[in-house]
Amino acid sequence: MGGQPMFILSEDSERTRGDDAQSSNISAGKAVSESVRTTLGPRGMDKMLVSDDGDVVITNDGATILDEMDIEHPAAQMLVEVAETQEEEVGDGTTTASILAGELLSKAENLLEDDVHPTTIVEGYHEAAQIAQAAIEDNVIATEPDDEQLLQVAESSMTGKGTGELAAGDLAQTVVDAVQQVSTTDGVDRDAITVHTQVGAATSATELVEGVIVDEDRLSEEMPRSAEDAAIAIIEEDLEVKESNIDAEYQVSNVDQLNAAIEAETEQLAEYAKAIAETDADVVFIDGDVDDRVASDLVKEGLLVFDGVDGDDIDAVGAATGASRVGSVETLENDDLGSADSVSVEKFADDELVFIEGGAASEAVTIFARGSTEHVVDEIERSLNDALDVVTAALDAGGVVGGAGAIEIIIANQVRDEAASIEGRKQLAVEAFADAVDVLPRTLAENTGMDPIDALVDLRAAHDGGTAAGLISEGQTGTVADPIEHGVLDPAAVKREAIDSATEASTMIVRIDDVIASN
Ligand code: ADP
Ligand code: MG
């Protein structure tokens, strides 16, 4: 062949290969993980994220931080995905997973510098991850946590989340109550729990509503604000004069004809309220518009009616009360009606909310979350959802383990012990994995203001003495103590997922030695 070079990529593509590609990817991944380190644990700090258009989010939640951060680097993006997967699969532990992934990358970088082949690192990490999973399995405290343990799991996930120390206990109880309401022998129906936020009151005013809340307005202020033992109709129709009848071409040549036309219209409109009143309905949700004349008839009938109800709310009302949607009032029958113990309209500042409690068709519950400002309720909503997820995971997905870094110390010890029997350079990778897991207790120590090296030494000593120990943060300080005694528990599923997703992402990044970007 001649000396002609062959070009297979367009001139615009950028290509980075070998060590350069690896080190740039690893640095990007480490940077992402670094950015959430200070938020880990109950003494973790919050971040304020300001978007292009000036929206402000204040949060301590790893997944939210990374999601808001507008990260572009492709390898860094893979760490964002770790947090996303963690959030989707178990709903908590996102900071833990990102920090671990970053540290696995950092240790891999050292191994690469010592000429350990990427494939060896990948194999070693996978093997270590399996040992870690076995260590978690062996150290599950309760596969079927009791009420007190569930409460502790909820509290551990909520402390330090802007919910306030005092409120955290009550909120945790509300979370456990909500989960127990929708829990059957088949498991927890997590989708049956909604969090509805409303600013304007202290967080301690948060309560559990045994039903659903929808944000809809009454058709008229003259209608009642509530109904007990209510029969509920859902109508998907505009209660107006039908277009065909008010044809623009309507030829009116004398007053009689005009009166006749108006009368026909009025009669047609009167039919709507009459048809509804003939059924047992007390409360009506209408997705369409309602003519003023129909509205006044409905007031006279003493009905509580909501118009222009949006699709999601129609779904929620139908699911809770068992009401079927009816396309035309003419066909509405008692069989179509749903029912609820009570429907009530309550006023909050400028908003009116409809509480539908004791619906006949479902056990759906709503946590009605209060907070003094928009930022507070947003963070409370995130933390309630995390807590609902962890309590669900603790009940449905394999129980709980000791938190506050205790399970991580156990994992690291186990991996280090078993590394000894692994041959060749792979042993170095397995040991590196164990060292990487130590970053979690170390970071907890840093964030609590403890000396991280002393803390790790004390933790290991306690474990060697046969007690499970973690870095329990109480008030302003941290102490080395038994997390189970102090009620700091995490779901095993959160730890399992963190190990898996961090291992996946870091090994995927280590394997890449060629980045081709087409611009
Ligand atoms: P993540 O996004 O990983 O859930 P968090 O900021 O929620 O991050 O911190 C979770 C860690 O904090 C877990 O390891 C948990 O065991 C620990 N933790 C929770 N409560 C306490 C406590 N009172 N003392 C020490 N550690 C705690
Ligand atoms: Mg958490």
Residue 246 has pLDDT above 60, yes or no: no
CB 497 within 8 A of CB 97: yes
Q: Could you give the maximum distance between any two Cα atoms of the chain, in Å?
A: 105
- Ion ligand 2 neighbours, Cβ < 5 Å: 92, 157
Residue 378 to residue 3: CA distance in whole angstroms: 64
**Model pLDDT for residues 106-129, shown as the tens digit of each residue:** 999 999 999 999 999 999 999 999
Q: 472 alpha carbon to ligand 1 midpoint, in Å?
A: 9
Beta carbons within 8 Å of 379's beta carbon, 6+ residues apart: 58, 59, 60, 61, 161, 162, 163, 371
14-142+401-517 fold: GROEL; domain 1 (1.10.560)
Residue 217 to residue 221: CA distance in whole angstroms: 9
Which atom of ligand 1 has the smallest separation from the CA of 96? 3
Higher pLDDT, 295 or 62: 295
Stretch among 125-139, 153-167, 242-256, 278-292 having the lowest mean pLDDT: 242-256
**Model pLDDT for residues 336-381, shown as the tens digit of each residue:** 999 999 999 999 888 889 999 998 887 889 999 998 888 888 888 9
Question: Is the backbone of residue 67 left (phi > 0), alpha (psi -120 to 50) or beta?
Answer: alpha
Candidate list 39, 46, 59, 61, residue with the active-site label: 61
- Tokens for 332, please give them: 């509405």
pLDDT the model gives residue 74? 77
CB 140 within 8 A of CB 399: yes
Dihedral of the CA atoms 48, 50, 56, 61 (nearest 10)?
Answer: -40
Stretch among 261-265, 330-334, 386-390 having the lowest mean pLDDT: 261-265
Q: Options 3.30.260.10, 3.30.450.20, 3.40.50.2030, 1.10.630.10; which CATH number does 144-191+365-397 get?
A: 3.30.260.10
Annotated domain spans of the chain: 14-142+401-517, 144-191+365-397, 211-357
Beta carbons within 8 Å of 294's beta carbon, 6+ residues apart: 239, 240, 269, 272, 273
Which atom of ligand 1 has the smallest separation from the CA of 448? 25
Stretch among 160-174, 185-199, 221-235, 495-509 having the lowest mean pLDDT: 160-174
Q: Measured at the alpha carbon of residue 61, what is the angle toward residues 58 and 65, in degrees to the nearest 5?
A: 65
With the C-alpha atoms ordered 376, 197, 203, 189, is the resulting torsion angle positive or negative? negative
Q: Which of 309, 310, 334 is nearest to 324 (CA)?
A: 334
Residue 357 forms beta bridges with which residues?
A: 211, 342
Residue 389 identity? D
The DSSP symbol for 246 reads: G
Residue 249 has pLDDT above 60, yes or no: no
Q: Of the ligands numbered here, which is closest to the C-alpha atom of 402?
A: 1
Q: Catalytic: 94?
A: yes
- Mean of the per-residue pLDDT values of the chain: 87
- Tokens for 505, please give them: 């992402």
- Strands (E) in 192-254, as ranges, are 193-199, 207-209, 211-214, 226-235
- Strands (E) in 200-334, as ranges, are 207-209, 211-214, 226-235, 283-286, 304-306, 325-326
Candidate list 39, 59, 85, 95, residue with the active-site label: 95
Q: What are phi and psi of 385, to 5 degrees?
A: -65, -40
Beta carbons within 8 Å of 350's beta carbon, 6+ residues apart: none
Beta carbons within 8 Å of 104's beta carbon, 6+ residues apart: 125, 432, 433, 436, 502, 503, 506
Q: Measured at the alpha carbon of residue 404, what is the angle toward residues 403 and 410, in degrees to the nearest 5?
A: 65
- CA-based end-to-end distance of the chain: 31
Residue 494 to residue 479: CA distance in whole angstroms: 24
The DSSP symbol for 279 reads: S
This prediction's pTM: 0.79
Residue 364 to residue 424: CA distance in whole angstroms: 56
Residue 131 to residue 431: CA distance in whole angstroms: 12
- Counting residues of the chain whose pLDDT is more than 70, the rounded percentage is 94
Which atom of ligand 1 has the smallest separation from the CA of 97? 3
Residue 173 to residue 152: CA distance in whole angstroms: 9
Mean pLDDT on 134-154: 91
With the C-alpha atoms ordered 297, 300, 303, 304, is the resulting torsion angle positive or negative? positive
Residue 254 has pLDDT above 80, yes or no: no
* pLDDT confidence tier of residue 437, bands split at 50, 70 and 90: very high
Site residues for ligand 1, CB cut-off 6 Å: 39-42, 44, 62, 92-96, 156-157, 159, 403-404, 444, 471-473, 488, 490
Mean pLDDT on 186-208: 89
CB 307 within 8 A of CB 328: no
Residue 400 has pLDDT above 60, yes or no: yes
Mean pLDDT on 86-104: 91
Give, using CA atoms, the residue closest to atom 23 of ligand 1: 473
Give, using CA atoms, the residue closest to atom 14 of ligand 1: 404
Residue 475 to residue 68: CA distance in whole angstroms: 30
Q: Measured at the alpha carbon of residue 243, what is the angle toward residues 239 and 247, in degrees to the nearest 5?
A: 145
pLDDT the model gives residue 477? 78
- Strands (E) in 246-384, as ranges, are 283-286, 304-306, 325-326, 338-348, 351-359, 365-371
Q: Which of 232, 439, 501 is nearest to 356 (CA)?
A: 232
Higher pLDDT, 201 or 467: 201
Candidate list 307, 386, 389, 438, residue with the active-site label: 386
Higher pLDDT, 253 or 453: 453
Residue 251 has pLDDT above 90, yes or no: no
Give, using CA atoms, the residue closest to atom 10 of ligand 1: 41
**Model pLDDT for residues 220-242, shown as the tens digit of each residue:** 999 999 999 999 999 999 988 87
Which atom of ligand 1 has the smallest separation from the CA of 159? 20
Q: Catalytic: 279?
A: no
Q: Options 2.60.40.10, 3.50.30.60, 3.90.600.10, 3.50.7.10; which CATH number does 211-357 get?
A: 3.50.7.10
Q: Of the ligands numbered here, which is closest to the C-alpha atom of 159?
A: 1
